[in-house]
Amino acid sequence: MNLMTEQNQKEKAILSTENEIAINDFISMLWVEKGLSDNTASAYRTDLSKFSLFLQSKSALSSDLVSVQKEDIQAYLTARFEQKLSQRSTSRFLSSSRSFFKYAIAKKWREDNPTQGVSNPKLPRASVRKTSRCL
């Protein structure tokens, strides 16, 4: 399995050892136990790595991915909004995070899920095409 893209390798070089181990353990479980595709697992790795780097860059926040609080997630969501990142990628980040923290609880790394109660951004509705039938 080759989930490491060039971008992921750059991020890996500056992730804290603790965060890198936690992410790798989670991604391995996704791939082996859940059978997620390489693309999905890679996207989850990227989401969690970027969040970890954000945490590491903010001294007021917990830099340990496993120890984050709801406020850390909200600060990251605010930063994503200010950077005008898409609502779809923000929804995927929340999905990645929810799965990661459920895994962390199962592994007994933590007792609660800080993503609980955090809402996904509202996604624009897909436009419906009207078709006419000729009989």
Per domain, the residue ranges of the chain are: 6-106
| Mean pLDDT, residues 21-36 | 90
pLDDT > 80? residue 78: yes
User: Hey, what CATH topology would domain 6-106 get?
Assistant: DNA polymerase; domain 1 (1.10.150)
Task: Tell me, yes or no, if the pTM score tops 0.85.
Answer: no
pLDDT greater at residue 135 or residue 86: 86
3-state SS assignment for residue 26: helix
For residue 62, the tally of other CB atoms under 10 A from its CB is: 15
What average pLDDT does this structure show over 21-37?
90
